[in-house]
A and B are shown apart, each in its own frame.
Chain A
């Protein structure tokens, strides 16, 4: 007997699949293809093989080599500065909020979550004003005489504070949800055995929320590698390009005011994608192995 074709799953997956193909798979494949070409977005791409990659990686005299490595260095710094606080702080807050006797949990949670709903450009404008020497709180209330955006390490501090302020809520919600799923009985048994709060955190809470931790760690890291808005709005890459992240160079090459240099920009984007892929895979592997 001929097996009946079941189209129901296709119906459910189909629309997503089409959108995924149109907006993710095809552009990614075309982006990888473009990275092997010289292309100004207007004419047809000119195939140049690995030339863009060899220029970016090995031609030390080339502007694109300098831009790529400076951008990558600054992006890595951003990742190092922001990912640990974006994991640890929300986790600490989530644990604190799970305390039974705490009142006003929903209010505190909302206050911390709302910044994540504000667009980066709007948040950056608010922070620019806060750190504005003439108009801002830092100058008028705390008497700071520093022009934050143009002096290090202050330029980085403004970017990091903005990122943490805006990013803390998302991870916190995930941790809150996972912690609330941990069985109360485990904590009660631990208490009977004489375990203190720190012991309970490391022996019960952390192992129980293992998967959400891996997920947030990998996603936060991948997101941090794609940083663009915060340094663009807060410091415009300065002072002396010390906060120019890779996405800023990629964007300026592809969509600057001059003729587009989309081939080189695509090659940089592919290399960035590879870095993210390798680091995410490593994170996942290491954390998963430890968890097991």
Chain B
């Protein structure tokens, strides 16, 4: 009987230890800062380099970088259970209002006190501002990553379109002027990151995605933006629907590609692709906007995070502020002014966007609380709207309703959480 009981206990203990193994044993280690990032691509390796360089300085508390696939889902899981919450994480700018509303982020106050150079003046304004809610700073920015427009220098010369770049604002009208002038198989622009390009046009038309806190998708500005970009498609100047426009740019068949700052490294690896970068095309001759986001350092609420660790985090973030030129290798624009102003950074292609105040201003980050719902709707419908597969009025109405329905649900849940 005793033996049987013993076996039973062993069985349960084994199962329990198996389950316990699912937890994150590093999270409560006082000598390690557990640092989660969603950097599953090549950029994760550059972050590894930065973390390694920091750890080589022999800090009191070392940093352990954990690239976490599907990080936001895992964050909600660990926050619900309160176990295994990382000490530090990188989140995207559009996540900040939601997390702050749910009271899940710890303010950076003590971190900023520990390292006085971690202050507003030392960072690009929109990157810093993305983490500021009602006067409280919740994040320290790492970078700005923007929707930009690459151009093929050889094709611009071939079609006599180099003058488009004169004022750094390639307008839709200029693009349309190439109608009927291209060889078969060549196109002026692709549809990479079309949703971002469209959200940039809203700013170019002095519109917004919200009015008095309410979502504004079905607006005259959005309609004008879609109608104008649709003209490029209707003129046969946009890469055909469903085709890999990004690849077509790399294979030298497209004059302009509206993808991200981070693509510069991939484009550079293509043999014989002679390319440069400029602002995303604009429906307005007076204004250009590069819809952007930002990677931000944030601390999720965790009572077990000791003061020593917060000091360690501060010292790591100060190291990043001073040394993040390494991050430019990933194609990103570091948020630190010290890095951006350095001669080393000026050698990177994306320094084009920090060369003067006007360019810096063009990097626009939406901070509206419900921006993620709007971005989801725009991404889902904009392709079909620009390609003429869906009537614009009907599409805009559907998008507006979809966003409103989601907000209503989210408010219902938040009403309870706020009790």
Q: List residues of A whose CB falls within 8 A of some B CB.
A: 4-5, 7-8, 10-11, 14-15, 18-19, 22, 37-46, 48, 61-64, 132-135, 147-151, 237-241, 252-253, 255-264
Category for how many chain B residues contact A: 35 or more
Contact in complex: A15, B372 (CB < 8 Å): no
Contact in complex: B15, A40 (CB < 8 Å): no
Is B389 interfacial (CB 8 A cutoff)? yes
Contact in complex: A18, B12 (CB < 8 Å): yes
Closest to B414 in A: A40
Closest to A4 in B: B1
Task: Please name 6 pairs of A and B residues whose Cβ atoms are closer than 8 Å in the assembled complex, sorted by A.
Answer: A7-B5, A15-B12, A42-B79, A44-B417, A132-B244, A237-B380
Contact in complex: B243, A134 (CB < 8 Å): yes
Contact in complex: A258, B415 (CB < 8 Å): no
Report the bound CA distance from A280 to B58 in whole Å: 61
For A14, give its contact among B8, B242, B410, B413 (CB under 8 Å): B8
For B414, give its contact among A14, A43, A133, A258 (CB under 8 Å): A43
Q: A18-B15, A261-B406 are in contact. Are A42 and B412 (CB under 8 A)?
A: no
For A11, give its contact among B8, B251, B390 (CB under 8 Å): B8
Contact in complex: B244, A259 (CB < 8 Å): no
Report the bound CA distance from A258 to B407 in whole Å: 10
Is B401 interfacial (CB 8 A cutoff)? yes
Closest to A151 in B: B242
Report the bound CA distance from A19 to B384 in whole Å: 46
Contacts of B72 in A (CB 8 A): 255, 257
Contact in complex: A258, B8 (CB < 8 Å): no
Contact in complex: B415, A134 (CB < 8 Å): no
Contact in complex: B413, A10 (CB < 8 Å): no
Contacts of A148 in B (CB 8 A): 242
Q: List residues of B whose CB falls within 8 A of some A CB.
A: 1, 4-5, 7-8, 11-12, 14-15, 19, 72-73, 76, 79-80, 94-95, 98, 101-102, 104, 240-244, 247-248, 251, 370-373, 375-376, 380, 383-384, 389-390, 401-402, 405-406, 409-410, 412-418
Closest to B250 in A: A134
For A258, give its contact among B4, B5, B240, B376 (CB under 8 Å): B376
Report the bound CA distance from A263 to B383 in whole Å: 29
- Would you give the shortest CB distance from B415 to chain A, in whole angstroms? 7
Contact in complex: A258, B372 (CB < 8 Å): yes
- Would you give the shortest CB distance from B396 to chain A, in whole angstroms? 14
Q: A7-B5, A8-B4, A151-B242 are in contact. Are A257 and B376 (CB under 8 A)?
A: yes
Report the bound CA distance from A241 to B415 in whole Å: 32
Contacts of A62 in B (CB 8 A): 405
Q: A43-B418, A261-B406, A263-B409 are in contact. Are A149 and B102 (CB under 8 A)?
A: no
Report the bound CA distance from A261 to B409 in whole Å: 7
Contacts of A134 in B (CB 8 A): 243-244, 247-248, 251
Closest to B411 in A: A38
- Would you give the shortest CB distance from B100 to chain A, in whole angstroms? 11
Contact in complex: A15, B376 (CB < 8 Å): no
Report the bound CA distance from A132 to B414 in whole Å: 44
For A42, give its contact among B1, B243, B417 (CB under 8 Å): B417
Closest to A44 in B: B416
Contact in complex: B412, A252 (CB < 8 Å): no
Contact in complex: A40, B413 (CB < 8 Å): yes
